[in-house]
Amino acid sequence: MNDAELNKISALNAALNKGETLDSMRRRFTELTEREREAAQTVDQYARITRRTPEENEKLDAARSLHNELCAKLKEASEMLDMAERIAAGTYVQDLIDQENEKKFAASIPNGYYNAGTRRR
């Protein structure tokens, strides 16, 4: 888990060093969302064709590939934007501390169940 978080922080740091801002990250996220939606419509359009020619099958495969690529980019952009907004709001470090405390408390309770500071019996 720590490696994943460190990789996200490293990617965010690299983006910020290249001149990215919260506004540019939001614009990129919005643009990728629109592109992903259009790609999904294209895939759906080709998938509805019941008797496809080999060329249409190739177009469907290409559309699916593009859609999958855009989904991966959108997920990455979403995670980076989320982390940047949490850091900018000053809640990122506190969230990490809260998660660690929750793990510690859950390990110390005999049944291992702990949620939001309230013990359940």
pLDDT tens for residues 77-121?
999 998 888 888 777 777 778 888 887 777 666 665 555 555 444
Say what the pLDDT of residue 64 is.
Answer: 94
Q: Are 25 and 83 in contact (CB under 8 A)?
A: no
Q: Rounded to two decimals, what is the model's pTM?
A: 0.68
User: Concatenated DSSP letters for 57-83?
Assistant: HHHHHHHHHHHHHHHHHHHHHHHHHHH
Output the average pLDDT for the chain: 84
Q: Which amino acid is at 33?
A: T
Each residue of 12-25: pLDDT tens digit? 888 888 998 989 99
Report residue 56 as tokens.
Answer: 């249409």
**Residue in the block written with tokens 């982390």:** 83
